[in-house]
Structure 1
Amino acid sequence: MIDSRIPGGAGHGTLQHAFPCRIRFSYRNATVLVCFFNIVIAILLLHAFFGSSGRRFALRRGTWEAEALRRAMEPLELIKRVKEIQEEFSREQEIVVVSTGQRQSAASDLSKRLKDFQALNDANSKKALEEWRRRKIDRARQKKTD
């Protein structure tokens, strides 16, 4: 049963003649197919990037309007008053700094007075301690003699 109509003999190449539109898959065909898909994707990306400028402008305009509304809703008088209070507070801090210098000088004067008082107090306490010892010794002597 050799089919003489088919070149190559019995059973060889029968699918090629049965399906004449079948494309052979080669590296060249794969390269052409990949390049075609790359070109299609590049065209779609360019269209998405440059073609949607109308939608992008509408989005920008919407964000501009939202920003304008947000700014319009800000309590400007309250912000001004807060800034005034902050300025007043900073002025008061400057005054406090000046009075802090005066406080430091007063504190140093007080510490000098306390040191002088302690020195006098130490001398007085030494005298009182010596008198107490003398009395104690005198009492102890009187008890021995009694």
Structure 2
Amino acid sequence: MARGKWVCSYKKTTLLVCFFNIAVALYALHSLYSSLYIYSGNVSRNVALYSPDQIRKMELSIQIRGEFKPVELIKWVKALEGEFSSETVAVELPRHLKQNIIDEILQRLRSLNFSRTDIAKEREVVESWRKEKLEEVKSALVKGTSNSTIPHEEAGMLVRALESNWAVLCEEIGLWIPAQVSNEEHDDKPEGAEEFEDEILPGRPVSPECHAELHTDYDGAAVRWGLTFHKDSAADCCQACLDHAKHAKEGEKKCNIWVYCPSEFGCHSPDIYQHKHQECWLKYAEKPRLNFKDKYPESYRNSHPSAPVIVPWVSGVISS
């Protein structure tokens, strides 16, 4: 009997443990189900429900905004954006096209016999080349009407560069031909103006003792740092050199060389600095020596890809 009671007690204990486990499992399932129900209920409550009147008001609001939309202004803005984008593309010519333009212009200039200081003739030759080239590339755009070997895509780029952005392209390739003011139509030349008939620099006339040389870069020890010394014109730069030499103290180096950057796009130099428009360098050299004259050598441009063909600087050695 004792053994039977013990066995009965063991079975009851096992059943109680099983029932307890089942109860815990059911509670866990109930909790999980409840959390899922609450989450789905929150999501459904977050969905916005609009009444027909609210929907009608929103549609009316969208219609009113559409009617007051500045359509004409948007058209003008898009047209201006198209013009600006076309100008940007026009000057972004591939390197080989720029090099071809440079070579053709230099070849045309070398084939003619005229003085380097004859700026009017130089401008005329370059403008004649531009018109001829423009006609050639325009013909290349018309299929079957041109014998040009220029690819159709490059012809389109050249037309935009030569027609709309010629001045900018000239600066990019280092072709700087200053404007020449002529007063032949009016007899208003001041007395002694014959001395300045060959004047080619913008701004006020340069004094004869400045000995201004276009497309020239002289070497020398800097007595005034040009990065922080700007002048409005080459004449002002030369005058600064003359004043420095006049007021220099005993034992100090007197300025006898001035170098000026007339290009609005800055001037190239082999150093690490970016030389900007109107930089004026005052230098001294016992025996003035040229860095570059007229154009940069091909060997130099090969080692300095950013260098233009034509030297942009204006320099002069003042009278002693």
Same fold by TM-score, threshold 0.5 exceeded? Answer: no
Greater RCO (CA < 8 Å, at least 6 residues apart): 2
Instruction: Report the TM range for the smaller structure's normalisation.
Output: 0.3 to 0.5
Indicate the structure with greater helix content: 1
Question: Which protein shows a greater Rg?
Answer: 1
Indicate the structure with greater strand content: 2
